[in-house]
Structure 1
Amino acid sequence: MASVTARAPVAALRPSSASSLKSSSSSSAFLGHSSRLGRTASPTTRRSLKAEAKGEWLPGLPSPAYLDGSLPGDNGFDPLGLAEDPENLRWFVQAELVNGRWAMLGVAGMLIPEVLTKAGLINAPQWYDAGKSEYFASSSTLFVIEFILFHYVEIRRWQDIKNPGSVNQDPIFKSYSLPPHECGYPGSVFNPLNFAPTLEAKEKELANGEHHYHRYLRTVAGHFR
């Protein structure tokens, strides 16, 4: 799968300086980073440099042909060949995106109540004791409700992955619908701050999601050690 790495800054190069271009391209490929040229470089130069740097997450190991650098965070990392099937690749792209969002939300749900409780603003149990608290319904009732709601949402999301745009319209209130959008980035009411889905923003989201995978594991391991 795609692996997100930090981008190293590259000085602006002139198309006429062939030796400098070759040197910068080789250095970027060795470090495993995608190259980004300055404004003076031509589009042809940018494309050729990208092709040379593609997949160099490990020096000397070529990128698989199906990872062409077009996906956010794609540095050619797929040692098990999980994304070789295009249908699997489409699913894995969305799975990584959504799981990263859940990881960020989960870590926030573990830490923020604890901080607010210690500040005296609320009275919430620690995350590891939250399941022992009394709620407005039994745990089995809450589980069934959650299962039904999540099942509906995940089926709709799966339909959107298989046929993008097929679930944009509300199935009950037909007058409500989402504008055309890229799969995984619905925008509209799901993007209240109106962040643009640029390549840089997508890579930052993936990197933050992967960071929060590790943050969650460290938090759980720290509690049980």
Structure 2
Amino acid sequence: MNATMLKSSFVSGVAARPQLPTPFRSNGSRVCMRVNAEAQLSGNWLPGAENPKYLEGLPASYGFDPLRLGQDPGALEWYKQAELIHCRYAMAAVAGILIPDVLNKLGALNLPDWWNAGKVAQDNSPIPFNTLIALEIFAYNFVEIKRWQDFKKPGSQSEKGSFVGLEGFFQGSGENGYPGGIFDPLGLSKGPGFEAMKVREIKNGRLAMIAFLGFTGQYLATQKGPVDNLIDHLKAPLANNFTTNGVSLPIQAHPLLTVLHP
């Protein structure tokens, strides 16, 4: 076979080769790979598994219910509301930890560390501790009863006579867990993007719950807040991480890592 025949055979083979999908085609010396994260997450949390039918329609569920706790429709609705409330509490807590901590570092504020803030506030409060606890229990009980009543009968808390003439403030969005009214000053529950906002809230809330657990674990391990931990890690990543705090791992960190600490 001469050189001309070899060249012709090679060209024919290249022409007959199936084209790669667009995301994997070579572009010069670099392979362009585009991954749509949202499309990847739109399926099941466990690749190859089938989404439970009873989770269809829930924002950002991704079929995650390995213990099948949501098979009971009544229980599923309560779990949905419980996650929503925990998400909101966690987002408020994480913001309440990070924002003052950052402002302290910038010199704009001088507030106590988050794990000590409650004690400092109580030491400077004119209200005795036992009285404060009683007031908080009463307030939380009132709010939770109102939430439970609205859960059992959505919209009932805006009915006339349900709250000493102020029930108009509880005029909700009509959907359980999304109060609307004065709790939605921007009117996001009325716009076309309401469903997308639900997904964003759940995702950010889950991240906040994990972050709060991380903040708690960091303090127990290092006696520092998240901003200080981040600054220490950025200064010396190998010397300041979960392997070197003496708590996270059941084994002692390698002695060489301590040498790297500035």
Distance (whole Å) between structure 1 residues aligned to residue 143 and residue 206 of structure 2: 23
The one of 100, 103, 126 aligned to 1:116:
103
Aligned CA RMSD, in angstroms, stands at: 1.9
| TM-aligned CA deviation for residue 100 of structure 1 | 0.2
The one of 196, 209, 212 aligned to 2:208:
212
Q: Which residue of the partner structure matches residue 64 of structure 2?
A: 77
Deviates more, 1:151-160 or 1:162-171: 162-171
Deviations 1:134-183 (A, max 9, x none): 12312222111111000010011011111111112451125634155211
| TM-aligned CA deviation for residue 116 of structure 1 | 2.6
Task: Describe the SS at the equivalent of 1:167.
Answer: helix
The one of 126, 130, 141 aligned to 1:151:
141
Counting only pairs closer than 5 Å after superposition, residues 38-57 of structure 1 correspond to structure 2 as 56-57=44-45
Deviations 1:28-51 (A, max 9, x none): xxx5x33xxxxxxxxxxxxxxxxx
Distance (whole Å) between structure 1 residues aligned to residue 211 and residue 167 of structure 2: 41
Q: Which residue of the partner structure matches residue 119 of structure 2?
A: 132
Q: Which residue of the partner structure matches residue 158 of structure 2?
A: 168
The one of 103, 109, 117 aligned to 2:90:
103
Task: Describe the SS at the equivalent of 2:69.
Answer: coil
Say if 1:115 and 1:187 are closer, same or farther in 2 by CA, change over 3 A: same
* Greater per-residue helix proportion: 2
1:186 aligns with 2:179: yes
Task: Describe the SS at the equivalent of 1:7.
Answer: helix
- Identity rate, percent: 41
One-letter identity of the residue aligned with 1:94: Q
Structure 2 residues not aligned, in runs of 5+: 1-36, 222-262
One-letter identity of the residue aligned with 1:173: G
Contact between 1:103 and 1:216, CA under 8 Å: does it hold in 2? yes
Q: Which residue of the partner structure matches residue 17 of structure 1?
A: none
TM-score normalized with structure 2 length: 0.62
Distance (whole Å) between structure 1 residues aligned to residue 199 and residue 126 of structure 2: 40
Deviates more, 1:190-199 or 1:160-169: 190-199
The one of 193, 200, 209 aligned to 2:196:
200
Distance (whole Å) between structure 1 residues aligned to residue 115 and residue 180 of structure 2: 34
Q: Which has the higher contact order (CA 8 A, sep 6+)?
A: 1
| TM-aligned CA deviation for residue 74 of structure 1 | 2.4
Contact between 1:90 and 1:161, CA under 8 Å: does it hold in 2? no
| TM-aligned CA deviation for residue 218 of structure 1 | 1.2
Say if 1:191 and 1:84 are closer, same or farther in 2 by CA, change over 3 A: same
Distance (whole Å) between structure 2 residues aligned to residue 87 and residue 199 of structure 1: 22
| TM-aligned CA deviation for residue 193 of structure 1 | 2.1
TM-score normalized with structure 1 length: 0.72
Q: Which residue of the partner structure matches residue 48 of structure 2?
A: 60
Q: How many residues get paired?
A: 176
Distance (whole Å) between structure 1 residues aligned to residue 71 and residue 216 of structure 2: 33
Structure 1 residues not aligned, in runs of 5+: 1-5, 9-30, 35-52
